[in-house]
Amino acid sequence: MTRIQLLSPRLANQIAAGEVVERPASVIKELLENSLDAGAMRIDIEVEQGGVKLLRVRDDGSGIVQDDLPLALSRHATSKIRDLDDLERVATLGFRGEALASVSSVSRLTMTSCTAGADQAWQVETEGRDMQPRLQPAAHPRGTTVEVRDLFFNTPARRKFLRTEKTEFSHLEEVVKRLALSRFDVAFSLRHNGRTVFSLRPAHGEQEARRRVASVCGPAFVEQSLSIDSERSGLRLWGWVGLPTFSRSQADLQYFFVNGRMIKDKLVVHAVRQAYRDVLFNGRHPTFVLFLEVDPAVVDVNVHPTKHEVRFRDGRMVHDFLFSTLHRALAAQRPGDQPGAEG
Q: Residue numbers of the site for ligand ADP (CB under 6 A)?
A: 30, 34-35, 38, 59, 61-64, 72, 77-80, 94-101, 144
Q: Do the Cβ atoms of 93 and 37 come closer than 8 Å?
A: yes
Residue 128 beta carbon to ligand ADP: minimum distance, rounded to whole angstroms: 16
Residue 125 contact, options ligand ADP, Mg ion, none, Cβ 5-8 Å cut-off depending on partner type: none
- Contact with Mg ion (CB under 5 A) among 50, 70, 94, 133: 94
What is the residue type of 303?
Answer: V
Report the alpha-carbon distance of residue 44 to residue 211 in Å, rounded. Answer: 19
Of 12-51, binders to Mg ion (CB under 5 A) are 34
Closest to ligand ADP by CB, 12 vs 243, is 12
**341 C-beta neighbours (distance < 10 Å), count:** 9
Closest to ligand ADP by CB, 126 vs 325, is 126
Residue closest to ligand ADP, measured at CB: 94
Report the alpha-carbon distance of residue 212 to residue 180 in Å, rounded. Answer: 8
Report the alpha-carbon distance of residue 272 to residue 323 in Å, rounded. Answer: 6
**325 C-beta neighbours (distance < 10 Å), count:** 24
Residue 310 contact, options Mg ion, ligand ADP, none, Cβ 5-8 Å cut-off depending on partner type: none
Report the alpha-carbon distance of residue 171 to residue 24 in Å, rounded. Answer: 8
Phi, psi (5° rounding) for residue 185? -80, -10
Q: What is the DSSP code (8-state) at residue 119?
A: S
Closest to Mg ion by CB, 93 vs 290, is 93
Among residues 320, 220, 200, 332, the alpha carbon closest in space to that of 267 is found at 320
**186 C-beta neighbours (distance < 10 Å), count:** 22
Closest to ligand ADP by CB, 95 vs 240, is 95
Closest to ligand ADP by CB, 83 vs 342, is 83
Residue 79 contact, options ligand ADP, Mg ion, none, Cβ 5-8 Å cut-off depending on partner type: ligand ADP
Residue 104 beta carbon to ligand ADP: minimum distance, rounded to whole angstroms: 9
Residue 127 sits at the vertex; the CA angle it makes with 121 and 130, to the nearest 5 degrees, is 125
Residues in binding contact with Mg ion, number by CB under 5 A: 3
Residue 33 beta carbon to Mg ion: minimum distance, rounded to whole angstroms: 5
Task: Give the rounded distance of the alpha carbon of 98 from its chain centre.
Answer: 16
List, in order, residues 6 or more apart from 172 with CB less than 8 Å away: 24, 25, 28, 47, 50, 51
Q: Contact between 99 and Mg ion (CB under 5 A)?
A: yes
Closest to ligand ADP by CB, 59 vs 165, is 59
Closest to Mg ion by CB, 99 vs 213, is 99
Q: Contact between 104 and Mg ion (CB under 5 A)?
A: no
Residue 35 contact, options ligand ADP, Mg ion, none, Cβ 5-8 Å cut-off depending on partner type: ligand ADP
Residue 241 contact, options Mg ion, ligand ADP, none, Cβ 5-8 Å cut-off depending on partner type: none
Closest to Mg ion by CB, 91 vs 331, is 91
Q: Contact between 190 and Mg ion (CB under 5 A)?
A: no
Report the alpha-carbon distance of residue 56 to residue 190 in Å, rounded. Answer: 10
Q: Do the Cβ atoms of 123 and 138 come closer than 8 Å?
A: yes
**Rule CB under 5 A: which residues touch Mg ion?**
34, 94, 99
